[in-house]
């Protein structure tokens, strides 16, 4: 786990990692141990190096650099967040989840919950992905978040929760034919044919050439 890694992470461990460029180790070592540098200067320099590696998608040296940042500032939320994405990239989902959980506890924003949900989803823990997506949607509601939540509920075969999420999405974007189609299909799956017909009727008004909606709205 990341806390265990932090406990044992030292200068000697740096040489264990394979990097894309031979000077990565030297750059990090100089940044962390500059003779005249203050704690603040070392932290600023390491953060700059870590961010550069991250932007360049050089994730192994970026991971090392962010770990060095955390040695100097163990509450650095940006470093935890970036490490979460790095670990997700390498399919190390347990450490990604741990990093994103730290971010959520420090700053429980919608995007923080969404990132944590993403990690759970990639780990195929769909129940926890739904929990975090719901928190994201409740913290900062949006059509996209409720649609994502509905899809996860569908994977979990939670029809009533799927329907509720789709209804929330439709409330945000009531004239979106794609969302209304999903809502109507969900109602059909729950054998609520009358409710589905009403939704198909709305679709016909918005899209008169929609043949499926025309047929379904007039079905008996």
- For residue 91, give the 3-state DSSP assignment: coil
Q: What is the pLDDT of residue 12?
A: 38
Q: What is the pLDDT of residue 11?
A: 34
Give the angle 149-101-140 at the CA atoms, nearest 5°.
Answer: 40
Q: How far does Cα 160 stand from its chain's mean position? A: 24
Count, residues in the chain: 220
Residue ranges of domains in the chain: 1-74
Question: 171-190 burial, b if ≥16 CB within 10 A, otherwise e?
Answer: eebeebeebbbbbbbbbbee
- Dihedral pair phi/psi, residue 58, rounded to 5°: -95, 80
Q: What is the pLDDT of residue 157?
A: 95
Distances (CA, A) of 71 to 13, 31, 153: 13, 13, 40
Q: Which residues contact 211 (CB under 8 A, 6 or more apart)?
A: none
Sign of the CA dihedral with 1 first, then 49, 91, and 138 last: positive
Q: What is the pLDDT of residue 7?
A: 40
**What does the alpha-carbon distance between residue 52 and residue 192 come to, in Å, rounded to a whole number?**
54
Q: Supply the pTM of this predicted model.
A: 0.80
Task: Scan for tokens 């499926």, then name that residue.
Answer: 212
Helix ranges (H only) for the chain are 2-8, 11-14, 24-32, 39-55, 59-72, 77-89, 93-106, 110-122, 126-139, 143-155, 159-172, 177-189, 193-206, 211-217
**What does the alpha-carbon distance between residue 103 and residue 113 come to, in Å, rounded to a whole number?**
9
Q: What is the pLDDT along the chain (220 residues), one digit of tens a residue?
A: 554 444 433 333 333 333 444 445 545 555 555 544 688 888 999 999 999 999 999 999 999 999 999 999 999 999 999 999 999 999 999 999 999 999 999 999 999 999 999 999 999 999 999 999 999 999 999 999 999 999 999 999 999 999 999 999 999 999 999 999 999 999 999 999 999 999 999 999 999 999 988 988 887 6
**What does the alpha-carbon distance between residue 112 and residue 107 come to, in Å, rounded to a whole number?**
7
The two three-digit tokens of residue 121, written as one number = 């989803």
């Amino acid at each position: 786990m990341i806390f265990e890694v932090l406990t044992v992470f030292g200068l000697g461990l740096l040489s264990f990692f394979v990097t894309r460029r031979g000077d990565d180790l030297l750059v990090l070592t100089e940044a962390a141990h500059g003779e005249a540098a203050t704690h603040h200067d070392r932290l600023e320099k390491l953060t700059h190096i870590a961010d550069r590696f991250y932007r360049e998608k050089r994730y192994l040296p970026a991971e090392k650099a962010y770990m060095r940042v955390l040695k100097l500032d163990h509450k650095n939320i940006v470093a935890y967040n970036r490490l979460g994405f790095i670990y997700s990239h390498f399919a190390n989902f347990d450490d990604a989840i741990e990093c994103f959980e730290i971010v959520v506890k420090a700053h429980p924003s919608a995007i923080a919950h969404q990132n944590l949900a993403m990690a759970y989803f990639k780990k195929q823990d769909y129940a926890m992905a739904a929990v975090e997506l719901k928190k994201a949607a409740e913290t900062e509601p949006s059509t996209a978040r409720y649609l994502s939540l509905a899809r996860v509920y569908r994977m979990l075969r939670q029809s009533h929760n799927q329907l509720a999420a789709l209804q929330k999405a439709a409330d945000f974007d009531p004239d979106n034919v794609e969302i209304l189609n999903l809502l109507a299909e969900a109602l059909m799956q729950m054998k609520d044919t009358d409710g589905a017909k009403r939704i198909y009727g709305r679709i016909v008004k918005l899209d008169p050439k929609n043949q499926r909606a025309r047929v379904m709205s007039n079905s008996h």
